[in-house]
Amino acid sequence: MKKLTVFGLLMAWMIIPAMAQKKIEFREFTLDNGLHVILHQDNSTPIVNTSVLYHVGSKNENPERTGFAHFFEHLMFEGSENIERGQYMNIIQGRGGTLNAFTSNDITFYYQTVPSNELELTLYMESERMLHSKVDETGVETQREVVKEEKRQSYDNRPYGSILIETLKRAYSEHPYQWAPIGSLDHLNAATIEEFQDFYKQFYVPNNATLVVAGDIDYAQAESWVREYFSEIPRGSGEIYRPNVTEPKKTEEIRDVIYDNIQIPAVIQAYNLPPRNHPDSYALSMLSTYLTGGNSSLMTKELVDKQQKALAVAAIPLELEDGGIFIMYGITNMGVAPEDLESEIDKLIAQVQSEGISDRDFEKLQNIIENNIVSGNSSVSGVAQNLAEAHVIFGDTNYINQVMDYYSKVTQEDIKRVANEYLNLDGRVVLYYLPKPQETTE
């Protein structure tokens, strides 16, 4: 299964759902047990993607048990009452398919792409996972080791691997977004088997899941198989925990230095964002493209090409259901002090805040965004994920066909406005990543 990484996660959120001209057709229905089902037919290639979105991420965790949602992403490949331990992946791969999963602060997403004559198999596999996955000592022990190794590889030993963890920790004081999906190994070690079983019973229930089948399908056949395999799964009996916390607005900058196993210093800035479905999200996404998207973008041209103060710069809106963060990072060029790079970054932000963007740049942005949106739906697995998120996060599956409309409502003035409103220097988090003294890293 996919290893959750900072950049992987950021990338996953960067894929903008929906498209401009061509409408995505779909059918949807909800089973009696609450499972929402979306079908999308595209017969152009004889493959089919089956995805399940569970509306549980790290924000639904007990603060004393962080890392549970991501841990389940691993545990859910252990097998079920009918699938032998360790066989889940072999079964799919042995029939010519691929499968993967990821966990974010908001959701856990499982997906498989197979030749279209294996659709029934994927529905069987996903229904086994939802009905009676193995949640036992052996599985928990095995996956604890795997997650420990993953944490070591992807966070502790990876240069800049802890950026997301360190930034979230400071960007939120109240909201459970303050911990990253990887969570705490101590919490996982301390948890009893009953706690894992309770988590499964609370969140891995049809009324907390959205199933998408996209690709070379026959609508009637697909629907009948879905009903056959999923109807018998009982609705969850308890209440599903969703935090109702409003993060207070920060009024003071938080500034820190992190010593990491890196060679080159980096500057990180993070600004709190509105909820993902807020209208300003579109302008903020365009702003990030203006700042760092492409060879001729403002910061890339100025800081990487001209001044050569940075090796790379990127602005990424990490859009989350209850309000994410706008992360900007710059990796310094050899011999450039981070203070120096930071002040140049701030100057460029101030420039956008006071002058806004030119007509030509605005037109360029619209062109780039349009290209991204159109390209975001080029694979059935991309479409499946976008459909699921449209339903769960935006409350309307047809949102997938409206994204471009929302972007076209953004004006030149909006981009200047959101730069002033959200890139607020007084409430931001600034981190310097500096190399640990060499000898200690040996």
Closer to other proteins by Cβ: residue 197 or 371: 371
* Shortest Cβ 123–other proteins spacing (Å): 8
Closer to other proteins by Cβ: residue 95 or 417: 95
Q: Identify which range of 154-162, 233-241, 272-280, 330-338 contacts other proteins by CB under 8 A.
A: 330-338
- Kindly identify the residues of this chain, within the stretch 377-396, that bind other proteins according to CB under 8 A: 377-380
d(C-alpha 154, C-alpha 57), whole Å: 19
Of 251, 242, 212, give the one whose Cα is nearest residue 35: 212
Pairing of strands 108-115, 254-260: unpaired
Residue 89 in tokens: 């992946």
> Which residue among 94, 251, 252, 359 contacts other proteins (CB under 8 A)?
94
* Shortest Cβ 348–other proteins spacing (Å): 17
- Kindly identify the residues of this chain, within the stretch 60-89, that bind other proteins according to CB under 8 A: 81-82
> Which residue among 197, 367, 408, 411 contacts other proteins (CB under 8 A)?
367
Residues sharing a CB contact under 8 Å with residue 101, sequence separation 6 or more, in sequence order? 1, 2, 73, 76, 77, 108, 109, 110, 111
Helix (H) or strand (E) holding 121: helix 119-132
- Kindly identify the residues of this chain, within the stretch 1-20, that bind other proteins according to CB under 8 A: 19-20
Q: Is 340 exposed, middle or buried (0-12, 13-18, 19+ CB in 10 A)?
A: middle
> Which residue among 374, 398, 406, 417 contacts other proteins (CB under 8 A)?
374
> Which residue among 62, 308, 343, 358 contacts other proteins (CB under 8 A)?
308
Question: What is the chain's Cα-based Rg?
Answer: 22
* Shortest Cβ 237–other proteins spacing (Å): 19
> Which residue among 142, 202, 372, 420 contacts other proteins (CB under 8 A)?
372
d(C-alpha 30, C-alpha 44), whole Å: 27
Strand ranges inside 6-119, DSSP E:
27-30, 36-41, 47-54, 98-103, 108-115
Closer to other proteins by Cβ: residue 171 or 291: 291
3-state SS class at 190: helix
- Kindly identify the residues of this chain, within the stretch 108-137, that bind other proteins according to CB under 8 A: 113-121, 123-124, 128
- Kindly identify the residues of this chain, within the stretch 227-286, that bind other proteins according to CB under 8 A: 227-229, 231-232, 259, 263, 265
Of 150, 208, 140, give the one whose Cα is nearest residue 180: 150
Q: Considering CB under 8 A, how many residues would be counted as binding other proteins? A: 80
Strand order in the sheet with 108-115: 27-30, 36-41, 209-215, 47-54, 108-115, 98-103
Contact between residue 121 and residue 91 where contact means Cβ atoms under 8 Å apart: yes
> Which residue among 51, 297, 386, 397 contacts other proteins (CB under 8 A)?
297
* Shortest Cβ 5–other proteins spacing (Å): 18
* Shortest Cβ 120–other proteins spacing (Å): 4
Of 223, 53, 239, 224, give the one whose Cα is nearest residue 129: 53
- Kindly identify the residues of this chain, within the stretch 405-424, that bind other proteins according to CB under 8 A: none
Q: Identify which range of 55-63, 70-78, 103-111, 432-440 contacts other proteins by CB under 8 A.
A: 432-440
- Kindly identify the residues of this chain, within the stretch 29-48, that bind other proteins according to CB under 8 A: 31-32, 42, 44-47
Report phi then psi at 168, rounded to 5: -60, -40
Closer to other proteins by Cβ: residue 228 or 256: 228
